Amino acid sequence: MTVSYPRKFRNTLSARDIMKRVVKERELQIMTLNRYRYSEQRSCKDLTELIERLNGEPKELIRDISNHIVEESRHALWLTDLLIDLGEDIGQPTGISYIDAFEKLLDQEAYPTEANKDDTIIAALAAINATEKRGCELFAAHIEALKEAPQTEENIKIRETIERIFPEEAGHVRWGNRWLSKMAQKSPETREKVQLAKRRYFAIEQAAYESSDIMMGAEFRRIEHLMEISETMPLWERTQYLMKHIPETVFNPELQLFRIEMAQKAWQKDPKMFVEQFLPMFFNGLNQSDLERIKEKNRNN
Ligand SMILES: [Fe+2]
Ligand SMILES: [Fe+2]
């Protein structure tokens, strides 16, 4: 079965563009590897919690999730080994966390508990599927970028580690797809629930992924995703959800601090590059429609 990747959103850098930059800067590449390590390790904890919540049924699903945990834990181990071999830090990653942003948007733990068991399974499978697809997209782009990068001993080692992980990540997308279609076949009602859950968790994942986007206009793009998420909710929950998350998105002090920190780092490192590359890249994040919206907002104030 082929792995389908999330569509590229307008005005955001593609995974390939991002990874081309990542492999050029050692510090950035090490930071990225440590983030992978953290995510792999964290997913073991979240999947274990899901098994506990399922409490023994369905057995086949619990077997698949158990196997999934084995694979995620060895990915964490391979990345831990790699970072230690390279003499690097394996502490908590700094900056905005994708997993925390994902859970914040769910308003609860990693995989939601619904009143009905089928609903819990569908929600968990859709959430896992959305994040696994992102993992595949990033790993594939990272491998490609490393093939084009200078073939240093370190880069070869990093590529070999990601190449070992990648086929198992593609397998995680496949088992999720298989279970989602199995649930959809249960009844027309569950089919509809599966479609809605896929749309919902796709939008949540996209918003979480873009939460560390420091480009100008990122807040507007996030609000668009919040609207998409709310459209998958019952009418009476929509307003409450938007009222909670829109202010966090627009006035996100973490994002502002991260922006300043990144700008300072780029400036200190290479002022010429800052002016020629960082600034245009930063403002490119703001497209014409975002500018129109800012003007409109200012007119209304
Ligand atoms: Fe993994
Ligand atoms: Fe995975």
Q: Which residue has the tokens 């850098």?
A: 13
The domains of the chain are located at: 13-211, 213-301
Backbone angles phi, psi at 180, to 5 degrees: -65, -40
Q: Which pLDDT score, from 0 to 100, does residue 123 have?
A: 93
Residue 135, pLDDT > 80, answer: yes
If you measure from the C-alpha of residue 43 to the centroid of ligand 1, how many angstroms do you get, rounded to a whole number? 8
Alpha carbon of 169 to ligand 2 centroid (Å): 4
Of the two residues 12 and 171, the one the predictor is more confident about is 171
Reported as a pLDDT band with limits 50, 70 and 90, residue 158 is: very high
Give residue-wise pLDDT tens across range 74-93. Answer: 999 999 999 999 999 999 98
Report d(CA 32, CA 292) in Å as an integer.
Answer: 34
Question: What is the predicted pLDDT for the residue at 80?
Answer: 98
| pLDDT tens column, 265-281 | 766 777 666 666 666 66
Q: What mean pLDDT do residues 188-192 have? A: 95
pLDDT surpasses 50 at 11: no
CA of 159 to the centre of ligand 1 (A): 15
pLDDT band at 216 (very low <50, low <70, confident <90, very high): low
Q: 139: CA distance to ligand 1 center in Å?
A: 10
Return the pLDDT at 130: 95
Predicted pLDDT of residue 25: 87
State which of 108-117, 192-201, 205-214, 289-298 shows the largest mean pLDDT: 192-201
Cα–ligand 1 centroid distance for 288 (angstroms): 38
Q: How far is the CA of 143 from the centre of ligand 1 (A)?
A: 15
Q: Which ligand is nearest to the CA of 133?
A: 2
Tell me the CA–centroid distance for residue 172 and ligand 2, in Å: 5
Q: What is the pLDDT of residues 64-75, one digit of tens each?
A: 999 999 999 999
Please report which confidence band the pLDDT of residue 258 belongs to, taking 50, 70 and 90 as the band edges: low
- Across 231-255, average pLDDT: 78
Ligand 1 mean position to 191 CA, how many Å? 28
Q: Which residue has the higher pLDDT, 228 or 132?
A: 132
3-state secondary structure 231-252: CCCCHHHHHHHHHHHHHHHHCC
Asked whether the bond before 58 is cis by omega within 30 degrees of 0, the reply is yes
* pLDDT interval class at 236 (50, 70, 90): confident
- Contact (Cβ atoms closer than 8 angstroms) between residue 34 and residue 96: no
Ligand number nearest CA of 72 is 1
User: In which band, very low, low, confident or very high, does the pLDDT at 4 lie, cut at 50, 70 and 90?
Assistant: very low
Q: Is the pLDDT of residue 205 over 70?
A: yes
Domain 13-211 fold is Ferritin (1.20.1260)
- Confidence (pLDDT) at 256: 66
The 10 Å Cβ neighbour count of residue 192 is 11
In the predicted model, what is the mean pLDDT of the chain? 83
- Looking at all shown ligands, the one closest to residue 131's CA atom is 2
Q: Which residues contact 117 (CB under 8 A, 6 or more apart)?
A: 54, 57
